Amino acid sequence: MLNFEYRLPTRIVFGKGMEEQAGEEIKKSGGTKVLVHYGGHSAEKTGLLAKVCRILEESQLPYVLLGGVKPNPRLSKIYEGIALAKKENVDFILAVGGGSVIDSAKGIGYGVANEGDVWDFYIRKKAPKACVPVGVILTIAASGSETSDGSVVTNENGNLKRDVGSDYARPKFAIMNPELTYSLPEYQTASGSTDILMHAMERYFTTVKNVELIDGFLESLMKTVMHNVRIVLGNPCDYNARAELMLAGSFCHNGLLTCGRKGDWASHAIEHELGGMFDVAHGAGLAAVWGSWARYVYFADVMRFAQFAVNVMGCVMDYQNPEKTALEGICAMERFFTSIHMPTSISQMGIILSDEQIECLAEKCTDGGSKNIGAFCRLGKEDIRKIYTMAR
């Protein structure tokens, strides 16, 4: 087990009707004027945006609105938010939505609180030194951005999808009412649940030994997600199943399940380039590439994949041929993805990759071949090219 530090400064406010506490939570965090940041029409259609405005007005908190965040949030919207927040002297950002809205809010917070171009943080040119406080009213169980230090943004100039992590941007609070996820389309629910699973698997496939406690947490979380997403897809208003998914998404990315270990994150890096080039749903893109990544790297630790197959996917251990068990586990996860209508290849998302596009994706993923990605198995440009080819 590796040395580690862990703390979770985000206050979790969980349960039915808890969005009513938003004004109180903002005041606790020192907010006096709020930028309400949200996505498309769903917040308006469901009445949530109107409710948030009413809550802020009753709390005597002035606010300005900025909607229009898209999946794979755009840098241009962050620039728009930075300009608006500065003009209006905003000192708190309330993200009403899922991971894209929260990540965009964090980007705005960075841009307001620091000098220079906010994109420099995402390309690791410099590190942020502050962030305007962010709070969250969560509307989808998926990215875990409501408790994480991460923000992922797409720059339309070059279609580059990049991330930055800093404790400065961890939300001050996250209000999580599972009822707010009832209206999600099936595809978004499945894609969000896949994102949670992939956050768990990125951590699970580690080369660090003697991490049994966190292994157990991760195994339980993955089985919980797989069980409950099936329930929700059959009954979208099952509160308890929605609650399990929402809690799993938050726990999976708040840092607890990274304690003492080093995650891989190659699948995320590979998907980020697909998201940047083709604007695919993040969870779906991860499902499309994971099996190819797994088959390419499982030899690095066959027993880790066999453990996953047995403890998570319910396969029977073949002690004479653990490699067979490892491969059965990969197939079992792909069957699960198929069962919730997630893709297991890039072509299933309607994308037919050319050799030239694969070369471009591999170039971007490795900064022109100058860096390797992944920790379970270090992957260079040629490795990434082969994985994209396998996944197409």
Measured between its terminal Cα atoms, the distance across the chain in Å is: 36
Write out pLDDT tens, residues 29-38: 999 999 999 9
Q: Is the pLDDT of residue 319 over 90?
A: yes
Write out pLDDT tens, residues 320-376: 999 999 999 999 999 999 999 999 999 999 999 999 999 999 999 999 999 999 999
CATH 3.40.50.1970 correct for 11-181? yes
144: left (phi over 0), alpha (psi -120 to 50) or beta: left
Q: Give CATH for domain 186-391.
A: 1.20.1090.10
Per-residue model confidence (pLDDT) at position 194: 98
Q: Is the pLDDT of residue 8 over 90?
A: no
Residue ranges of domains in the chain: 11-181, 186-391
Write out pLDDT tens, residues 63-122: 999 999 999 999 999 999 999 999 999 999 999 999 999 999 999 999 999 999 999 999
Measured N-to-C along each axis, helices 355-365 and 381-391 cross at an angle, to the nearest 10 degrees, of 130
Dist CA 179 CA 183 (whole Å): 8
pTM: predicted TM-score of the whole model, two decimal places: 0.95
Q: Report in angstroms the alpha-carbon separations of 6 from 85, 130, 148, 197.
A: 31, 20, 12, 21
